[in-house]
Structure 1
Amino acid sequence: MDIPIATGLALGAAADLLLADPRRAHPVAGFGAVAGALEHRIWRDSRAVGAGHALGLTAAASGLGVLLDRGTRRRPAARTLVTAAATWTVLGGTSLGRAAGVMRTALDAGDLPAGRAALPSLAGRDPRSLDGDGLARATVESVAENTSDAAVAPLFWGAAAGLPGLLGYRAVNTLDAMVGHRSPRYERFGWAAARLDDLANWLPARLTAALTVACAPLVGGSAPGALRTWLRDGPAHPSPNSGRCEAATAGALGVRLGGRNVYGSRVEVRPLLGAAGRAPTPADIGAAVRLSRAVWLGAAGLAVAARLLRTRS
């Protein structure tokens, strides 16, 4: 049994649930600043250089986790507190729900400008041409996708690899958000960051979909619908991971996700997920947030249990 790590994961998850992200001097923002400064110095239109950037920074974050792990191995109280702080730092489940809540408030009030202003904190698509239905769909999709990225995946890697897993995963995901998207600048430089993120999220995304099926009845959703839509529609999505999470959520809530998305000058037409469902409404944002919370808290419980069952090395 690894009680210090298990307790730290539980305390960190509780801190995120009660407090959301740290408001000042967020370590992830600091990591992003370092990554951005390094990119500015070394950027080349090269996969090899981009791979060095992604792998080097991920190794540095994971290495810090190894040092913290070794330094606290013989001090259970310190090990628990460091793990709790790291878990709180890398989780974003409650902040995700709060950002979605801001969108719902704006849409309930019929305030489209406020809703459009709130979208960049949730999704990268262009909000200028979106109406209320489009903003609601974008929000539900973002909550579904980011439940895995912001909460389930960090907990998965914390359970699997302790402090190095927590810090290494957050580094991978942050780098993907910074350079892993499609653009002329990052098409080659960001390739490795995007592929590394795909790999790190492959199992957590499927765990998220499975937990969505299990938790759907808790929010008045359909477990059979979630399972059916996940298996039928998830593989059609261009992402190997987020499509599974979005499809399961679509089936759970009985809504239709996917379709035309605009990202600046780029337009993507994505396959429909839950094509027989209805268009999402602001009320579905609330249901998606409640489902997301149930899913990531379930993942926290599994992570703690897995660490308690683990033979301490």
Structure 2
Amino acid sequence: MNQFTAIFIVPAAAVLLDIFLGDPAKFPHPVRIIGKGLDLYESCARRLGVNLRWAGWAAVLIFAGAAWFTVSALARIAYLGPLLAVYFAYAGLALGCLMREAGKVASLLDSGNIPGARQALSMLVSRETAELDESAIRRTLAETVSENLNDGFTAPLFYLALFGPGGLWAYKAVSTMDSMWGYRTDRFRDLGQGGALTDDLLAWIPARITAGLLLFTGRGLGLDAVMAKSRFRADAVKMESPNAGWPMAAAAWLLQGQMGGPTVYFGKVKEKPVLGPEGRPWTRQMLRTLFELTRKTGIRTALVLIPVLGLARLLLFS
């Protein structure tokens, strides 16, 4: 595989496959392999009685390193390598899947099927959805779409464009660790510290790129990007996560809908910071506009990151 193909064609092909195909429902996915490995690692660490905080930090190095080495080695296989590189790059992006699943929730809501919408939403979020009313479902859907534009697309694309499929899957290993262990509960407080802090570090730049491109795209859709730009930063820093609030607050102010408020996790109510104009519920039309904003921002993100970071990669690593 020549350098131009590796740096520019592979990421571009991955983005197109992700947008138009999403993740096939029954096709085996590398994240599941990482998840099973993390479950086994946790079980062994607890049985051996090792220090869980140190075990968590060791897991970051082990799983990120193994992912990078394995994917990079597969991408170098003669003849088959380019196809594997495209597959792993495509499998690491999740914009198409996010929009498809979010669209299902919205369609169920629009048809009046609240129980079905709750169930479909539970596949996208870690919070409890069984008691959510229509307004809370719309708010939750807006939150997860805006946050996961960064977590599921911008951040992995950033590392794909800069380091190739191996770098993307090193990031995905850390992100998967954070999604499985990154809870401040008795079970995960120590084990998940390494993954959570590393994920915060790796997603720091992409989250701010996502917010900036949301504002830029929103202006083209006729949204009040000037006002949103003046307000969203103050809300973004309210969140516990140093990154999640950036795309969420940008979207909340662009669409003029509230995010945050009482949220149930593991049977306990958590008061999340309010982002956007307080007391403004999400409507059907606001969600439709958010979906359009998210898709167009994803496309613009690819048009910016692939050439810019591709050139940086040529200069830095050639």
TM-score, normalised relative to structure 1: 0.92
* Selected match of 2:166 from 164, 167, 170: 164
Give unmatched runs, 5+ long, in structure 1. Answer: none
Within the alignment, does 1:35 sit opposite 2:38 as a pair? yes
Letter in 1 for 2:150: S
**Residue 42 of structure 2: SS of its match in structure 1?**
helix
Letter in 2 for 1:53: A
Match of 1:92 in 2: 94
Q: Name the structure, 1 or 2, with higher relative contact order (CA <8 Å, separation 6+).
A: 1
* Selected match of 2:13 from 11, 14, 19: 11
Q: Measure how far apart 1:134 and its partner are.
A: 0.4
Count residues with an aligned counterpart.
309
Distance in 1 of aligned mates of 2:104 and 2:220 = 23
Distance in 1 of aligned mates of 2:105 and 2:176 = 23
Within the alignment, does 1:235 sit opposite 2:237 as a pair? yes
Within the alignment, does 1:279 sit opposite 2:285 as a pair? no
Distance in 2 of aligned mates of 1:282 and 1:123 = 20
Contact kept? 2:45, 2:52, Cα under 8 Å: no
Letter in 1 for 2:35: G
Contact kept? 1:225, 1:254, Cα under 8 Å: no
Within the alignment, does 1:60 sit opposite 2:62 as a pair? no
Letter in 2 for 1:196: T
Match of 2:114 in 1: 112
Contact kept? 1:209, 1:230, Cα under 8 Å: no
Match of 2:256 in 1: 254
**Residue 28 of structure 1: SS of its match in structure 2?**
helix
Letter in 1 for 2:65: A
The worse-fitting range, judged by mean Cα deviation, of 91-100 and 42-51 is 42-51
Distance in 2 of aligned mates of 1:114 and 1:219 = 31
Aligned ranges 1:1-313 → 2 under 5 Å? 2-4=3-5, 5-23=7-25, 24-43=27-46, 46-68=52-74, 71=76, 80-276=82-278, 278-309=280-311, 310-311=314-315, 313=318
Letter in 2 for 1:167: W
CA RMSD of aligned residues (A): 2.0
Distance in 2 of aligned mates of 1:204 and 1:142 = 16
Q: Deviation per CA, 1:88-135, whole angstroms, max 9, x where unpaired?
A: 110010111111111111111222111111121221111122110100
Contact kept? 1:229, 1:250, Cα under 8 Å: no
Letter in 1 for 2:69: G
Contact kept? 2:155, 2:207, Cα under 8 Å: yes
Contact kept? 1:86, 1:163, Cα under 8 Å: yes
Identity %: 31
Letter in 2 for 1:26: H
Q: Measure how far apart 1:206 and its partner are.
A: 0.5
CA 1:276–1:42 in 2, change beyond 3 Å: closer, same or farther? closer
Q: Measure how far apart 1:226 and its partner are.
A: 3.0
Distance in 1 of aligned mates of 2:107 and 2:192 = 35
The worse-fitting range, judged by mean Cα deviation, of 7-16 and 282-291 is 282-291
**Residue 149 of structure 1: SS of its match in structure 2?**
helix
Q: Measure how far apart 1:232 and its partner are.
A: 2.0
Give unmatched runs, 5+ long, in structure 2. Answer: none
Distance in 2 of aligned mates of 1:83 and 1:299 = 20
Q: Measure how far apart 1:218 and its partner are.
A: 3.8
Distance in 2 of aligned mates of 1:261 and 1:26 = 30
TM-score, normalised relative to structure 2: 0.91
Contact kept? 1:39, 1:53, Cα under 8 Å: no
**Residue 296 of structure 1: SS of its match in structure 2?**
helix
Q: Deviation per CA, 1:41-66, whole angstroms, max 9, x where unpaired?
A: 22356211121123211111122244
Distance in 2 of aligned mates of 1:108 and 1:22 = 25
Letter in 2 for 1:3: F
Q: Measure how far apart 1:276 and its partner are.
A: 5.0
